[in-house]
Amino acid sequence: MTIDKVKQKIESLRELIRGADYRYYALSDPDISDKEYDNLFEKLKKLENENPKLITDDSPTQRIFDGLLEEFSTVKHRGKMLSLDNTYSIEELNKWEERIKKNIKNDVSLDYFVELKMDGISASLIYDNFKLVIGATRGNGDTGENITANVRTIKSIPLRLRGEDIPNLIEVRGEVYIDKNDFESLNKKRVSVGDNLFANPRNAASGSLKLLDPNLVDKRKLKYFVHSFGYVENYKIHTQKDFFEKAKEWGLAINKNNKYCKNIKEVIAYCLYWQEKRDTLSYEVDGVVVKVNSFGLQKKIGTTAKSPRWAVAYKFLARQATTRVEKIELSVGRTGVITPVAHLEPVECGGVTISRSTLHNFDEIERLGIREGDVVLIERAGDVIPKIVKVIDSKRNGRERIFIRPKVCPVCDEKTAKDKVERKSGESGEYSSGVFLYCMNPDCPAQLKRALGHFVSRSALDIEGMGKSVINELVDKGYVSSLVDIYTLKKEDLFKLNLFKEKKVNNLILAIERSKNNPLASFLYGLGIKHVGEKAALILAETFRTIDNFYTLKMSDLEMISDIGPILAGSIVDFFSTAKIRKMIEKFKLFGVNLVQEKKIVESTRILGKVFVFTGELENLTRDDAKKIVIEQGGKFSSSVGKNTDFLVLGKNSGSKYKKAKELGIKTISEKDFLEMSGKL
């Protein structure tokens, strides 16, 4: 075939596959067998492999990113991704409509579009010239994380829009979720390999989107339904109903259970129907989203800072039960956060047995007035997270015990510090506010193992060979009782550990010795100071240069730095004003650990000021090594190719980044070229 005929054949196969994908994943109505589909796919792969110049990013064969992601960059949303206010009864739903009518001072009959409220994770998609170019999380509403490589693996998300009359630029928003059956299969696999179970489908979807290996994301069988659009360029869409009809024409996955309602009476009937029938669905839902249909009226009705006034969620009645609080215990985390946990008499609620519930913080205990021995009402918030709703005072018998807020750590008896801030719950993914207590002792046994794991991690002191099992054994056998004890380890200690022979012992001793030469930024990050991440650690190290300067820091010194706010500043001052911390740091000095940050290289280098991206498998460097070289020599390291990229460094089996670099005219170099530029060869 001529090249033109090959090109036509390739595009024809792509269209056939896109059509089959749409019918299978978006409509659940396949029109060809799996074998026929596989044959089409294999033919396309063969033609593309024979003609690599004809491969495009939106080809069905290019869904999965080649290699691992380094990190997720930040995406600024064109319009804020708002959250919804909730209603919990038909009465509240009617009052919501009354407020809208009062707001617009109009007695018109409002019509609505209603959708099932998926129990998943919000994500926005941007299509430029019909192609998917960006996938992003909701984040804080203004900015999210760039998860493009991961959303490309989701088969119900088209890489290229289909049909006619498509806007040149459009952002749509929707929900990433996992079907109930796929969630159960995923957890069964995790059990078989000894991994922790996901608590619920929502957490599984959220965790999957944050993976740095798109190949793993692909195996999670994520799905996506579009629920709204965020931005459209030079295109008029007048109603929510019109948008869904257009989105369906363009090949986007739309929930078939969405419905247009002429009035609030029909909305209520829809809500009550699905409240009764939700268990018949293949996915988890926790309510109904009700939207005013007209975009013109939506604009007139407006929004608050956090939520649209023209939309609301009707939350299904949570499954509730009563049980007794047997006792309240305290759990100490890696960073020293002390969390009260209620141990409950086991009770069936929403199809599962519940025996524990986090109380989040000590303000929550006081707000609810919980005592040990109380009978309480619990619910599975969103049908998933066990939550204590209230105390049933009428059930008290006088034998209940008031819980006293601790003044010292329940494990090590060291002093605690208070912090009144918002904090994200690891279980629910929601934010709670109140007083949080922190154990200030870095040697506290309850947090030591986790703290050690953080301290020796690659982004901190980078002690290769000291994994979780080694740390557990070192602590359990008493060889390590603080961070600094790592540097007291001797060969004879390591020989007593399981599976440690001569080579393994020598390698770990060398890794420990090498870790002493890391820059101050790595050490600061490794200490696990509350609120101090990698970026903050680097800023602090480059600003103050030596560890001794941290001993005399005041809030005013830190608040002068643009990236450091009062909460972070307070955490740093509290940490370094603790006598035990200072004593520990002085011990690090005695063992020769570097506690100085050298000034950045300012002399002219070929890397200075340039932006580097790496792709494929490097032979002589790890990605962390490459990143370190770039930063040390005044360059910038990025995980994605963009118009500001100066060089793309090619390793073996380079993937989609290479194609994008070619399209943008970005210079590509080999690993050898990079090593020569950096003076490492």
Sheet holding 647-650, edge to edge: 636-638, 611-615, 647-650, 667-670
DSSP element (H, E) containing 174? strand 169-177
Find out whether 98 and 245 touch, Cβ atoms under 8 Å. Answer: no
159/59 Cα distance (integer angstroms): 7
- Asked about 477 being catalytic, the answer comes back as no
| Residue 18 parent element (H or E) | helix 3-21
Helix, strand, or coil (residue 588): helix
- Radius of gyration, alpha carbons of the chain: 28
Report the C-alpha gap between 70 and 447 in whole angstroms.
28
The catalytic residue among 7, 117, 155, 628 is: 117
Residues with Cβ < 8 Å from 427, sequence gap 6 or more?
A: 199, 358, 385
- Count CB-CB contacts under 10 A for residue 583: 10
Which tokens hold the place of 495?
A: 């020989």
Are β-strands 86-87 and 311-315 bridged in parallel, bridged antiparallel, or unpaired? parallel
**Residues in Cβ contact with 195 at an 8 Å cutoff, skipping those fewer than 6 apart:** none
Residue 129 · residue 114 · CB < 8 Å: no
Report in angstroms the alpha-carbon separations of 600 from 73, 130, 517, 632: 24, 44, 16, 7
Nearest by Cα to 299 from 285, 307, 309:
309
CA dihedral 91, 95, 98, 103 (to 10 degrees): -170
Backbone angles phi, psi at 507, to 5 degrees: -65, -40
209 residue type, one letter? L
| C-alpha 586 chain-centroid distance | 37
Residue 370: Cβ within 10 Å count: 22
Whose CA is closest to 335, among 206, 421, 209? 421
Q: Which residues contact 169 (CB under 8 A, 6 or more apart)?
A: 126, 127, 128, 129, 231, 232, 233
Q: Write the Ramachandran bin of 302: left for phi over 0, alpha for psi from -120 to 50, otherwise beta.
A: left
Residues identified as active-site: 117
